[in-house]
Amino acid sequence: MLGRTIAGLALISAAFLFTGTLGATVVLGDAGNDGTDDHGYGTFCAASTVDGLNTEQTEIARTIIKAGDTVNVPHRGLVVALAAGAVETRLRNLPYGDRDSLGVFQQRPSTGWGTPNELMNVSYASAAFFGGPDGPNSQGAVSEPPGLLDIHGWEQMTVGQAAQAVQRSAFPDRYADWEDDARAWVAELAGDGSNCAASLPIAKGRYRITDRYGYREHPITGEWKLHDGLDFAAPTGTPVVAIAPGEVTFVGFRPWAGPHLVEIDHGDGHTSEYGHMSSAGVARHDTVGAGQQIGTVGNEGLSTGPHLHLTIRHDGETLDPERWFADLGVQP
């Protein structure tokens, strides 16, 4: 066990491992099994937590690591980022903080880190933390405010010193206290997520189901038609993650979903769609892992309140997401 558990402050979450018939764990790409039953419902494993982190914190840690991998941040830089996030917010995406600080790294819009909406997107906030010529605050050769990659000699600094060079905290000694934990999390999460083949799209305890799969009268148009997904009501800005590994095939506008619809091809006949989001943190052709953040909850398109509409298809036919998750032993 690690020296501390930061998940247990208010939320306790369990990690699940699901098995197929004969007790064999089934994951995407498992030899001799395509991970589905005859109707396209899944028999995948669910995304696990890591020691000391709950589901939401694990998703955030994985998103930070993914952002670092995108710009080739060395392993040690990922440790710096997770240690910084642990100190600032216990790896939670908080919409508040000291003065105008917010997000997982408590970055401030007033000092140029980004807009509030941008900083509440963990992928954006992580990219800003890492900075460099490809960072969202790039001024050419460097970023302003400077991220980790803009700090001259950060590779020779201690983890605590490097985190402080970016964060400029009034309590610079705290980052070193989380170095061992951060190293353990990076060791567990630094893969691509492909061995973990299913995840709820929003962390447990942060949503409520407001509409289910089936025929109903549309609340806006009044039309009697199939509601082809599952609605997760949650506050605007709540992180949304991929339910399974795959490739992003579409990011953009659909009248019903708004401007940030994300579609993912999971490579086994399954696809998933995430509608009404306030932002999308991925682009077409991106490869994502299960539990990786792809956007944030919103109220875009034909919507009566902030929520995520999740659609799952198999060979083009819609599935009941609630049943799909239930077949994995997960109650949405």
| Range in 16-20, 63-67, 76-80, 165-169 the model is least confident about | 16-20
Residue identified by tokens 């392993």 is 75
DSSP assignments along 33-95, one per residue: --SB-TTS-B-PPPPPP-TT--HHHHHHHHHHHHHHHHTT--HHHHHHHHHHHHHHHSS---S
Percent of the residues in the chain that have a pLDDT greater than 70, as a whole number:
81
Whether residue 218 has pLDDT greater than 60: yes
pLDDT, tens digit (0-9, with 9 covering 90-100), for 98-121 = 899 999 999 999 999 999 999 999
Q: Is the CB of residue 115 less than 8 Å from the CB of residue 107?
A: no
The burial of 70, by beta-carbon neighbours within 10 Å (0-12 exposed, 13-18 middle, 19 or more buried), is given as middle
Report pLDDT for 46. 37
Using the predicted structure, report yes or no on whether residue 15 has a pLDDT greater than 80: no
pLDDT digits (tens, 9 = 90+) for 271-282: 999 999 999 999
pLDDT at 266 over 80: yes
The whole-number pLDDT of residue 321 equals 92
What is residue 328's predicted lDDT score, i.e. its pLDDT?
Answer: 61
Return the residue matching tokens 């998750």: 325
- Best CATH choice for the domain 208-326 from the list 3.60.20.30, 2.70.70.10, 3.40.50.700, 1.20.1730.10: 2.70.70.10
Please tell me the predicted confidence (pLDDT) of residue 27.
Answer: 29
How confident is residue 48, by pLDDT bands cut at 50, 70 and 90?
low
Spell out the domain ranges in the chain.
55-189, 208-326
For residues 184-188, give the mean pLDDT: 86
Give the residue-averaged pLDDT of 252-263.
96
Q: What is the rounded distance in angstroms from the CA atom of residue 243 to the CA atom of residue 252?
A: 19
Integer Cα distance of 135 and 128 in angstroms: 6
Contact at 8 Å (CB) between 125 and 103? yes
Q: Is the pLDDT of residue 2 over 80?
A: no
User: Given this model, what pLDDT does residue 107 score?
Assistant: 97
Across the chain, mean pLDDT equals 82
What pLDDT score was predicted for residue 325? 80
Question: Which of 59-73, 119-133, 187-201, 304-318 bottoms out in mean pLDDT, i.e. has the lowest?
Answer: 187-201
With tokens 């893969």, the residue in question is: 191
Question: Tell me, what's the pLDDT at 219?
Answer: 86
Q: For position 327, what pLDDT does the model report?
A: 65
